[in-house]
Amino acid sequence: MYKRQDHTDSTFKDASAFHSTLLNRAKDISFVINQMADLGKTDANNFLSGMVDDGNIGIIGYSMGGYGVLNVAGAGYSEGLVGFFARMTGGSKAISSLAMGNVAYPKVDPRIKAVVAFAPWGMERGIWDAEGLKGLKVPTFFIAGNQDDISGYEKGIKAIYSGAVNADRYLLTYKNARHNVAPNPPPLESLQPGLHIDEYYSCLLYTSPSPRD
Please state the rounded mean pLDDT for residues 24-32.
92
pLDDT tens per residue across span 50-99: 899 999 999 999 999 999 999 999 999 999 999 989 998 888 888 999 99
What phi and psi values does residue 31 have, to the nearest 5 degrees? Answer: -60, -45
Among residues 98, 37, 29, 36, the alpha carbon closest in space to that of 59 is found at: 29
Q: Has residue 163 got a pLDDT over 60?
A: yes
Q: Has residue 1 got a pLDDT over 70?
A: no
Per-residue model confidence (pLDDT) at position 209: 34
Collapse the DSSP code of 41 into the 3-class scheme (helix H, G, I; strand E, B; otherwise coil) and give the result: coil
CA dihedral (33, 37, 38, 39) positive or negative: positive
Q: Has residue 208 got a pLDDT over 60?
A: no
Question: b/e per residue, 138-148, with b = 16+ CB within 10 A?
Answer: bbbbbbbbeeb
pLDDT-derived band at 108 (thresholds 50, 70, 90) equals confident
Among residues 102, 107, 169, 174, the alpha carbon closest in space to that of 138 is found at: 169
The CA distance from 131 to 81, in Å, is 14
The CA distance from 133 to 70, in Å, is 9
Please state the rounded mean pLDDT for residues 92-120.
93
Q: Count CA atoms within 13 Å of residue 171 on its CB side.
A: 20
The CA distance from 167 to 135, in Å, is 8
For residue 36, the tally of other CB atoms under 10 A from its CB is 14
pLDDT tens per residue across span 134-161: 999 999 999 999 999 999 999 999 999 9
The CA distance from 166 to 85, in Å, is 27
Higher-confidence residue: 197 or 189? Answer: 189
